[in-house]
Amino acid sequence: MKKILLLLTISLLLSHSLLAQNLTQNSVDKMNAVLEKVIEAYGGADRINQLQTMSVQFNDANFAINQSRRPGPPWDENKTSGSSHIDLQQMIFVTNNKSESPEQNFNNTTIINNEQSYQVNKQAKTVIPIAQPNFLNTAGPFIRVTPIMLIKQLMQRSQSSHYLGEANVDGRNHDVLSLVMEVGPAISLYFDQKNHMLTRSERYIPAFGLIGYRFTNYKEQAGMPFNQSFELIINEEINMKRQNLSYTINKPITEQTKYDTSFNVLPIPEPAQPDPLGRQEIADGVYLIGGTGTYAMFVEMEDHVIAVGGTAGIPERINLLKEVVPNKPIKYGVMTHHHSDHILGAQAYADQDITVVSAKAHEATIRNATDKPKMKLKTIESEHIFKDQVRTLKLIDIGPTPHSENVLVAYLPDERILFAADHFGLQSPGNITPAGRNAQEFAKALKKNNINANQILSAHSPIIATDKDLAQSVKMAQDTNN
């Protein structure tokens, strides 16, 4: 009996092993068969292998999903123009991006060219060397949105690719192959079974969700098809539309690696320092608490505390506050504005039965950000003053700004301390750059609302800026534009 059971077990294990081998081999065989047709559709192996340099001119329309000036759709559309240039043999990559929307203000170039790599700000007329250039990381986003580059990757990395199955997309059957690039999560590539063109791809990133890419409107150039249109879709919402205006292939891109020698070359910045969770006492009973790029201000009143800021990690920040203010409850938690990264704290405040405070225009967004239908919510039209025997705290809606139609700042007039989100902040001490549109309008709004702060706290920086820093930043922008 034992001998029979042993034979049955061995037989079962062998059958499972053969089944696994057959499934894997079938997947590889099917993948190679599909890839062969794809290579032919894209001009053949010789043409694809000979493609070593490429330049693309494009126009983009970026949609600010959950980051628009208004709390709901239609989302703001920010237009940009740019170009990308790649040399696969020399591992050179250059990308240019310029704002074409009045709400934004940038004209930047990134040059990855081994030791001669730079960040160029054409508006500020500055050049910053890149200490540790990484061709794969920087060129990766361009490769992922360029079908012919993905086909080259698939040819080079076919040994790690598999056939995932069939799918119907827009009424047409597709073969789906996997591609594992050197950097980033695996990508699923969808090829139309009739013409073998890549029409879409997908990859999953835990922090963002499902990232989709759509490729349409192919036109032939030098015997190879190039898509003229592209869409980036995040969790089923269109995040960007791109029109590729022109392609140049197998021409030197050396000229693109040069910059205006009259620009001011700045020193290589110090490496980013770890930013652990920490607490700063800005004034008696006024704390800035946070880390990893998100901060909240906590203000002691006579018998309670007011928290200002709703970015990630509010429970941990509250715990740090309790170490120094153990006997006063937090009564209010202020949301500065409706953007998705600034309302995460609403749930944390509601869970502790803290009254959430927001601009009136953001009431629905704040309520939808929690699972507490009966949460305590106080809304503000233009200004509200909290005052007791200890201090005065003003919440002022300084909107509209280019960033948000309504945005609350917290101002302590006696201490001359201001907490604001997303309009002005320093990423390192003394690192003052020309003010963008947000910071310029922020400075005007402070003057309009009689806010005379000499310390400016940011929701995204541990560095305490001053009114002089803001004034210098605005002046730098004015000098650049003149």
Which H, E and C letters describe the chain, residue by residue?
Answer: CHHHHHHHHHHHHHHHHHHHHHHHHHHHHHHHHHHHHHHHHCCCHHHHHHCCEEEEEEEEEEECCCCCCCCCCCCCEEEEEEEEEEECCCCEEEEEEEECCCCCCCEEEEEECCCCCEEEECCCCEEEECCCCCHHHHHHHHHHCCHHHHHHHHHHCHHHCCEEEEEEECCEEEEEEEECCCCCCCEEEEEECCCCCEEEEEEEECCCEEEEEEEEEEEEECCEEEEEEEEEEECCEEEEEEEEEEEEECCCCHHHHCCCCCCEECCCCCCCCCCCCEEEEEECCEEEEEECCEEEEEEECCCCEEEECCCCCHHHHHHHHHHHCCCCCEEEEECCCCCHHHCCHHHHHHHCCCEEEEEHHHHHHHHHCCCCCCCCEEEECCEEEEECCCCEEEEEECCCCCCCCCCEEEEECCCCEEEECCCCCCCCCCCCCCCCHHHHHHHHHHHHCCCCCCEEEECCEEEEEEHHHHHHHHHHHHHHHC
At the top level of CATH, the class of 29-257 is mainly beta
The CATH classification number of 278-481 equals 3.60.15.10
Query: In the structure encoding, which two tokens stand for residue 464, read together?
Result: 């305490």
Q: What is the pLDDT of residue 182?
A: 86
Q: What is the pLDDT of residue 334?
A: 98
Q: What is the pLDDT of residue 4?
A: 56
End-to-end CA distance of the chain: 95
Q: What is the pLDDT of residues 283-336, one digit of tens each?
A: 999 999 999 999 999 999 999 999 999 999 999 999 999 999 999 999 999 999
Q: What is the pLDDT of residue 432?
A: 85
Q: What is the pLDDT of residue 79?
A: 95
Q: What is the pLDDT of residue 294?
A: 96
Strands 305-308 and 330-334, by their bridges, are parallel
Q: Are the CB atoms for 108 and 130 separated by under 8 Å?
A: no
Q: What is the pLDDT of residue 15?
A: 52
Q: What is the pTM of this model?
A: 0.86
Q: What is the pLDDT of residue 6?
A: 54
Q: What is the pLDDT of residue 28?
A: 84
Q: What is the pLDDT of residue 258?
A: 96
Domain ranges of the chain: 29-257, 278-481
Q: What is the pLDDT of residue 11?
A: 58
Give every residue of the chain whose pLDDT is below 50, as ranges.
Answer: 18, 20
Q: What is the pLDDT of residue 176?
A: 97
